[in-house]
Structure 1
Amino acid sequence: MPSPASAHSLTVGPSAGALEAIRRGTNLPVLDVGPYLAGVPGALEQLGADVKMIQEKLGFFAIVNHGIPQSLIDESFRQTARLFEIPMEEKLRHRVGYHHQGYLPPKASILQSRAIIDKIAVNTKKDTNAAWLFMRNRPADDPKVSANVRHRGLNQWPESLPEFRKTLLDYQLSMEKLALHLLPIYARALELPSGHFDSMFKAPEYYQRCAYYHPEKHMEDGQYALAPHSDGSFLTLLPMTPVPGLQVMTPSRDWLNVSYVEGALIVNTGQVLNRLSNDRFIATPHRVINPPTERYALTFFFYPDDDASVAPIPACVGPGETPKYDSRSFYEFFVPYLDDLYHYNDKEFMKEAERTGSA
């Protein structure tokens, strides 16, 4: 009889293509998830082996044949570009506050993170990007909205651009569906039963960051469009754009320039899966440098249920090891994560936040 430790061991090793991409270290590994999504026998095991190797060494990869219509991605980019063209007066009516939902002006925050302080010097410069931030959309009578639960309020949708709301909701639902389909891959990558994560994602949370990176003429030393950080997600999905700017830290602490792959989505692990795996799967630092032309991003951060435990999974704690993280719910992790990461420095914003009790 197989032992409990080996009962769910992977039956295959990493593919030659994934191994070669990691060895070269010049581009992200590209995985074809089409056969798996189509139910081809053996495809889940192969992806599990590839993702295991990638998440232990780099933490970033790209997927193709993922099933998200390119027409939806293209329209989402078009609507996002229009989002940042609406009048500033309307944008400022929807500034981020207590719930971290709404419009974030350029140079209105400093991105810092204690989680990667051993790898990256503490950032002290204002990020130059602008962003609109959305959580899972909730109706006004949602119990968490009624109770004013932090980061679980109503999204701030621009009144003058109703098409954006419809498009983004379609985009988010499609990304949620894909992310749920990817869960068994991560379970097998950790050599767990394929359905291990199902109970954690009955009503998953997510955080959508629509960002605009404009070419900044006067960058300060040590300033970024988006400073180095690691995501707080279980996993993150990001449609690729031909405009360069995203850089990923390699194990040697060099910065890899992410090359464009047509129709691909970038996938990376965040701090939630880093905790669950007891540091086996890294939450890789990454950043966005000043782009050569206008650049937009549609980053979808995928999270478990608020009440799901994000303590290390016992099977991921090896013999003689101890859990490296405490036992807490996802929500108990999420609030301090955002407070640690985003440091608002805009005086007008802080004055309004203090006035409304939202600082």
Structure 2
Amino acid sequence: MAAHVPTLDIRRYDTDRDAFVADIGAAYREYGFCGISGHGISKDLIDNAYRVFKEFFALPEAVKMKYHLPGSGGARGYTGFMIETAKDSKYPDLKEFWHFGREIDRSSKYADVMPANLWPTEVPGFREYGYGLYEALDQLGVRVLRALALHIDLPEHYFDDKINFGNSILRPIHYPPITQPDVPNVRAGAHEDINFITLLVGASAAGLEILGKDGNWLPITTEGDTIVVNIGDMLQRLTNHVYPSTTHRVVNPPGDDARKPRYSVPFFLHPNPDFMIDVLSNCTSADNPSKYPTAISSHDYLLERLREIKLIK
């Protein structure tokens, strides 16, 4: 990866746990971002998921709009081009995307806030490969959170029963070619993620940048099987900023590269909707008193943020 954001092999969690936990904790305290390799998610699954996602975005606009659910905030199905707008940005992002979430029993107590998924019938394999990737990233997220728990002196499995019905989202994104010069919009405006952690599959194309503590933007690209994992605002709040949620963006590439499409697939790992985000006592001290004296449920926090980015009113 570019610059100083480290890539760590998660297999070390089983072979060299103490050192791995120290390394991953240090990476997140410093950058809020880390590359994770050795995760075991097959290239075949990732490649097939990307293939079906690209096939969907290549469909005619009228077909894609069949899967748009007005008033849903884009929680499931299709959200069209230039709809989402980064908080405090004047201009909508140059992207379109699809959302699907956890498959739960419709009699679940969470069914009212976790809608049923939509699956495009026009693209064979979309559900198979898409949800296969969802489950693989969900399981990897559990492993990352176990290491992060240990680093701040929580029990290894502290997060397990707080994310087992998490309102987590896989978001295939298409950034179409940029054909007009000097557009004020960018592919994704500077923002922080809402959730616990985000796992990004396929940051191989240039454009992703994070804002360093020195105020400079740091480009992030990956090699091989690396998945970029970053802290979201919910975990930042829970840990009283011990784990920072770092501002990042996707900039428009220069020259001919701007006329090429870009695809990425982030997995937003959320806690269960009724999880109360209340600052952990072992993340406070005389030097770092609680910044958030009031607890908030993860669902209420999500709604608050979706209004800010103009996905719901």
Amino acid of the structure 2 residue aligned with 1:89: A
Mapped to 2, the partners of 1:238 and 1:127 lie a distance apart of 18
State the alpha-carbon separation in 2 of the partners of residues 241 and 278 from structure 1.
28
Identity %: 25
1:313 to 280, 283, 291: 280
Q: Match for 2:269 among 293, 302, 325?
A: 302
Offset from partner CA, 1:72-108 (integer Å, 9 cap, x none): 1111111111110122111111124333222111122
**TM-score normalised by L of structure 2:** 0.90
SS of the equivalent of 2:91 reads coil
Q: Secondary structure at the match of 2:210?
A: strand
Is the Cα–Cα contact under 8 Å of residues 240 and 261 in structure 1 kept in the other structure?
A: no
Aligned residues: 305
2:295 pairs with one of 318, 327, 341: 327
Match of 1:126 among 92, 108, 112: 92
Give the secondary-structure state (helix, strand or coil) at the position aligned to 2:172.
Answer: strand
Q: Distance in 2 between matches of 1:166 and 1:227?
A: 31
CA pair 219-92 structure 1, distance change in 2 beyond 3 A: farther
Q: Which residue of 1 aligns with 2:85?
A: 110
Which string of whole-angstrom CA distances, capped at 9 and with x for unpartnered residues, describes residues 290-345 of structure 1? Answer: 2422211111010111122211101111136532122122112111122212x25x
Please say if residues 33 and 231 of structure 2, whose CA atoms lie closer than 8 Å, have aligned partners that are also in contact. yes
Q: Alpha carbons of 1:142 and 1:188: their partners in 2 closer, same or farther (altered >3 Å)? A: closer
- Which of 59, 63, 66 is matched with 2:39 structurally? 66
Task: Could you tell me which runs of 5 or more consecutive residues in structure 1 were left unpaired when the two chains were aligned.
Answer: 1-20, 113-121, 345-357
Aligned-partner Cα distance in 2 for 1:129–1:316: 37
Structure 1 residue 337 corresponds to structure 2 residue 312: no
2:71 to 98, 104, 110: 98
CA contact (8 A) 2:49 2:133 kept: yes
Give the C-alpha shift of residue 224 in structure 1: 0.7
Please state how far the C-alpha of 1:254 moved relative to its aligned partner.
Answer: 1.1
Deviations 1:31-77 (A, max 9, x none): 011232xx22xx22222211222222111110110111111111111
Q: Does 1:239 align with 2:201?
A: yes
Contact 1:27 1:257 survives alignment (8 Å): no
CA contact (8 A) 1:184 1:196 kept: yes
Cα RMSD between the aligned structures?
A: 2.0
Mapped contact 2:194–2:305 kept (Cα < 8 A):
yes
What residue is the counterpart of 1:46 in the other structure?
19
Q: Which has the larger radius of gyration?
A: 1
Residue 290 of structure 1 corresponds to which residue in structure 2? 252
**Would the aligned equivalents of 1:239 and 1:299 in 2 still touch at CA under 8 Å?**
yes
Kindly state the Cα deviation for residue 142 of structure 1 after the two structures are TM-superposed: 4.7
After superposition, residues 6-85 of structure 1 pair within 5 angstroms as 26-36=3-13, 39-40=14-15, 43-85=16-58
Q: Describe the SS at the equivalent of 1:153.
A: coil
Instruction: Write the distance in 2 (CA, Å) between the matches of 1:48 and 1:159.
Output: 43
Q: CA deviation at 1:238?
A: 0.9
Q: Which residue of 2 aligns with 1:118?
A: none
Q: Which region of structure 1 is more displaced relative to structure 2, 240-249 or 207-216?
A: 240-249
Which of 254, 258, 268 is 2:216 aligned to?
A: 254
Q: CA contact under 8 A between 2:203 and 2:228: conserved in structure 1?
A: no
Identify if the C-alpha distance between structure 1 residues 203 and 224 changes in structure 2 by more than 3 Å, giving closer, same or farther. same
Give a deviation string over 1:131-175, Cα, whole Å, max 9, x none.
112222345555544xxx34x212222121141111111111111
Asked whether the 8 Å contact 2:202–2:265 carries over to 1, the reply is no
Q: Partners in 1 of 2:108 and 2:128 — Cα distance?
A: 20
TM-score of the pair, normalised by structure 1: 0.79
With over 3 angstroms needed to count, the CA separation of the structure-2 counterparts of 1:313 and 1:179, relative to structure 1, is same
Q: How does 1:170-189 map to 2 (within 5 A)?
A: 170-189=132-151
1:198 aligned onto 2:160:
yes
The residue type paired with residue 28 of structure 1 is: V
Contact 1:34 1:67 in 2 (8 A): no
